[in-house]
Amino acid sequence: MVGAGIIALGLMDVFRALMHPRSEAALSKVVFSALWAVSRRFGHRLGSIVGPAGMVVTVLVWVLLQAVGWALVYLPHVPDGFDYSSGIDPGRHPVAAEALYVSLVTLATLGFGDVVATEPLIRFLAPVEALTGFALLTASLTWFMQIYPPLSRRSALALRLHGLAEADFAAAVRDLPRTPSRG
């Protein structure tokens, strides 16, 4: 149940970040707030990398939530609910590490074939996790494509304003002779 809750929490954050009109994703906001706090702490020397880094970290959090959630779902079934290729001893690794490995390989849709689900419930859930991983990849790429152009325009505007400030453009405009208005 805990695993299912973590999966749902991650998917809900993805949905709210990408589909909600105001992008009300709690986890995403925490990630971005933390990165902006770090940037402020360093005097904003990180510059324009904070926005893109926040997106990457947010996607990594989403992937981590899915991987851990699915690993917790698989945990009670490891190793008995799986068939291992010859030469692989599931007893050599901690059960939690094995469950996380199966989850990551399935989420990434790699399917190495070294571990195959044999229990009917797990045989049903593994493709669901693979579809979740594919949807997460697609959603992340879509998010980058939606957000990156406005971030680029914002960065260009900030650089232009900074250049105008460096050139003391406001003072130059203020010192221009004024022409009387007609009216």
Is position 17 within any domain? Answer: yes
Is position 48 within any domain? Answer: yes
Is position 133 within any domain? Answer: yes
**pLDDT tens-digit readout, 128-139:** 999 999 989 888
Res. 92: pLDDT tops 80: yes
Q: How far apart, in whole angstroms, are the C-alpha atoms of residue 29 and residue 154?
A: 19
Is position 142 within any domain? Answer: yes
Residue 121 has a pLDDT of: 92
Is position 76 within any domain? Answer: yes
Overall domain count for the chain: 1
Looking up tokens 């105001």 gives 22
Q: How far apart, in whole angstroms, are the C-alpha atoms of residue 146 and residue 23?
A: 12
Residue 18 has a pLDDT of: 78
Is position 180 within any domain? Answer: no
Containing structural domain, residue 44: 2-174
Cβ–Cβ < 8 Å for 130, 106: yes
**pLDDT tens-digit readout, 147-181:** 777 777 877 787 788 787 887 776 766 766 777 76
Residue 47 has a pLDDT of: 66
Nearest to 54 by CA among 143, 121, 132, 125: 143
Q: Which residue has the higher pLDDT, 100 or 115?
A: 100
Is position 179 within any domain? Answer: no
Least confident of 16-25, 59-68, 92-101: 16-25
Q: Any idea what the CATH number is for the domain that residue 69 is in?
A: 1.10.287.70
182: pLDDT confidence band, cut at 50, 70 and 90?
Answer: low
**pLDDT tens-digit readout, 24-65:** 778 888 888 888 888 878 777 666 677 778 888 888 999 999
Q: How far apart, in whole angstroms, are the C-alpha atoms of residue 59 and residue 28?
A: 9
